[in-house]
Amino acid sequence: MSFREKIHWAAFIGIAGAFGWYFLSYPWGLVNSRAGIGAVAGMLVPVTIIIIAIMSAVAAFLAIRFPREASLKEDERERDIHRRGTHAAYYPLVLGVYGLLVAVFWGWSGALLLNLVLAVVVSAELVRVGAQLWLYRRG
């Protein structure tokens, strides 16, 4: 498993875990109130800290443990994997944005829209990283 693949695994697990906690712990009873917007803001702070901590710790550990791999330049295969993963994430992102437009026209607002925006972005990011991991494994 290459250095970049290990970093992608850390990103996938960190994002899935942090936002999994967020969406499971969000006080959905407050979603249509001003307090719901405050809850979004308040809960994004620990989510951000968790993701940064996981990524920093894993990157530092791997860079110390495998210094030669950490300093290697990205090769053509890895650039292609990055490009194809980004391409795969484009579709859920675009479909999610169109879904958000429909939600706005239906009158949804406030914290519900903020959570939908987060869900769209997180879904697209998980598709991107997941596709890259799949492509690393596929060879």
| Domain ranges (residues) in the chain | 3-138
Residues 94/121, Cβ–Cβ less than 8 Å: no
Q: According to the model, what pLDDT value does residue 88 have?
A: 97
- What pLDDT band is residue 1 in, cutting at 50, 70 and 90? confident
Residues 119/23, Cβ–Cβ less than 8 Å: yes
**Residue entry with tokens 């969406």:** 23
Residue 139 has pLDDT above 80, yes or no: no
Residues 5/138, Cβ–Cβ less than 8 Å: no
Which tens digit of pLDDT belongs to each residue from 81-101?
A: 999 999 999 999 999 999 999
The fraction of the chain above a pLDDT of 70, given in percent, is 99
On average, the pLDDT of the chain sits at: 94
Residue 72 has pLDDT above 90, yes or no: no
pTM over the 0.85 mark: yes
The whole-angstrom distance between residue 71's C-alpha and the CA centroid of its chain comes to: 25
H or E element that contains 98: helix 76-105
Q: According to the model, what pLDDT value does residue 54 have?
A: 95
Q: According to the model, what pLDDT value does residue 74 have?
A: 85
Q: How far is CA 124 from CA 1, 68, 95, 110, 135, in A?
A: 24, 31, 10, 22, 16
Joined together, the tokens standing for residue 111 give 């914290």
